[in-house]
Amino acid sequence: MQMTIERIANLHEREIEEFMNHIKHTFQPSVPQQAEIVRKAASLVRMNAIGAYRYTENEQSLMANISGTESEFARLSFQSMEPYCTCLNDSWCAHQIAVVFHLYSQFHSLSDWLHSWRQSDVQAQLSIAERTPDAWLSALSLLVKPLAQLDPKDGPTGFLHYVSKIEQQKTRLSPFEWEWKPLFSLYYQLTVLRAAWPFLKGELASNDSYHYGKWQLTIWLNEQMSELKASIIQLSSKSKLFETDAFHTKLKDLIHSFAVEVEGLFSKRFEAFRLVYTELYTDEAELTEALGRLENETAADAPLFRAFLYLTSGRFDELDRELNSLDPTAVPQWLAFALYAKEDEDFDIVQSIMLQLLPHLAGHYQQLASRNRASFAEEIDQLLALSDVSEEQRDQLFQSYGSEAGRAYGQFLFERGRYEEWAALMHLTRGSVDMIDGSLLKTALAEDSQAVFPLMHAEALKLVKEKNRDSYRRAVRLWKQMKTAAKRDGRNEFWNRYINTVRQQFPRLRALMEEMEKGNLLL
């Protein structure tokens, strides 16, 4: 009977610990070639690449097959403590290390060991000898380095694991003086976001299914943005110390690097940039300095940040020129700017942006994940309502969206008294009348009962077909609402004929007949 891998790991726990210590002291995370070997070995374990194995009890050795790009056989001797691999590497290779990692992971956390190994160099260097911007950034960059080296295969769970470890280490670096803490926190937030951005962009920018891991990353990112905002507001409420001038100068470099030079998740980058230049650096000289930095910037999103600063500093001529040359295919970026202009009540700017984006909105809508389409349709219509866009154009846009925009389109139709179209839309997009806002249904019945009767009739018949007394009672409640509307409109004869027709249609449903009788539905 073949011995299980767990049993082998248990028998040779001491030898495995020795192997792990040898790997820890032989391979340095600061040496790229050595770090790559360890990373590859960890990836092989995560991909379950260690397949068939054979344990020889007499020799106390383990032979394992590793299926990667090329299949190899690695052998570990627990007597001589020497490894061998068919890849014929002179020293330890990724295949041999992967086998050791696989054995170690049977009773220990490989992720914890890897984090400890990556931090081994950091621990010796993780201190701030002097209070300067460069010293802060040097220590923080070293602290967040594991995030920049994160493999996509680690997934959200691995990312959050490393982040939690980094958060614990950050406390050691934070200054003791209260007046310096917000500034240090801001440095940390921008540094950790910049390091984490490639991983976050790859995970959150895709339109695939919204799984639990993606939800966790979204929560983490929102928490970081909230902390960033809190630090900025706290810093802006205090008078600047002379000693902090160099730190503020470097902070402007950091926010430019994070907001302008990276790509993806524009709304978050724009939010950070907006907070800095509406809460912290609001003087004319500081805004002019930021604009000067952006004048020759070639990054794709630079025009939006220039437009924002033109708006903030009141340079409307320059803003108009920027808006006239905007790239209308960059829909998400310009929508974020339009939403800011709406909050700032600059409705002329909203109109200028939306008129140029209008031909591209339907195409962008189809590229969105289904879960984001309803909120997008509502936001867009609110912006179009502030622009010189005809109701016919808005109507056509809604019709091009599809069923996901049903709620926003329904609101649009209802506000214009188009109750017949509203009722037809509710019938198509709502599974039940119970899913329709009761106040809207009541108003529609009062304003145009004939338009709403077909919707309520279809719902009542659907309830009758369920053939149980509770459903019959719910159908009778709908008919009583219709009866009230018919009586108010003076349509008594029509109503009585309608109720008699329903009774003739279901004469054998005795429970239904009883409930209709109790409801006193005739006028």
Token output for 513: 């007949």
At residue 193, the pLDDT reads: 94
Binned at pLDDT 50, 70 and 90, residue 189 comes out as: very high
Is 303 a member of any domain?
no
Q: What is the pLDDT of residues 120-159, one digit of tens each?
A: 655 545 556 678 888 888 888 888 888 887 777 778 888 8
| 346 shares a domain with 270 | no
Is 140 a member of any domain?
yes
Is 322 a member of any domain?
no
Is 161 a member of any domain?
yes
| 443 shares a domain with 411 | no
Return the half-sphere exposure (C-beta side, CA atoms, 13 A cut-off) of residue 133.
15
Integer Cα distance of 126 and 143 in angstroms? 7
| 391 shares a domain with 366 | yes
Q: Can you tell me whether residue 507 is helix, strand or coil?
A: coil
Q: What is the pLDDT of residues 289-336, one digit of tens each?
A: 999 888 888 888 888 898 888 888 888 888 888 888 877 778 888 888
At residue 126, the pLDDT reads: 54
At residue 440, the pLDDT reads: 81
Predicted structure pTM score: 0.64
Q: How many CB atoms lie within 10 A of CB 221?
A: 18
At residue 431, the pLDDT reads: 61
Q: What is the pLDDT of residues 429-477, one digit of tens each?
A: 766 666 777 778 888 888 888 888 888 888 888 888 888 989 889 888 8
DSSP letters along 461-491, please?
HHHHTT-SHHHHHHHHHHHHHHHHHHHHTT-
Q: Can you tell me whether residue 53 is helix, strand or coil?
A: strand
Q: Can you tell me whether residue 82 is helix, strand or coil?
A: coil
Integer Cα distance of 222 and 283 in angstroms? 28
Number of structural domains the chain divides into: 4
Return the half-sphere exposure (C-beta side, CA atoms, 13 A cut-off) of residue 335.
24
In degrees and rounded to multiples of 5, residue 62 shows phi and psi of -125, 125
Mean pLDDT of the chain: 84
Last-in-domain residue among 416, 449, 476: 416
In degrees and rounded to multiples of 5, residue 151 shows phi and psi of -85, 135
Quote the domain boundaries for residue 60: 5-120
Residue 233 has pLDDT above 70, yes or no: yes
| 111 shares a domain with 183 | no
| 22 shares a domain with 141 | no
Residue 410 has pLDDT above 60, yes or no: yes
At residue 124, the pLDDT reads: 47
State the burial class of residue 465 (Cβ atoms within 10 Å of its Cβ: 0-12, 13-18, 19+).
exposed
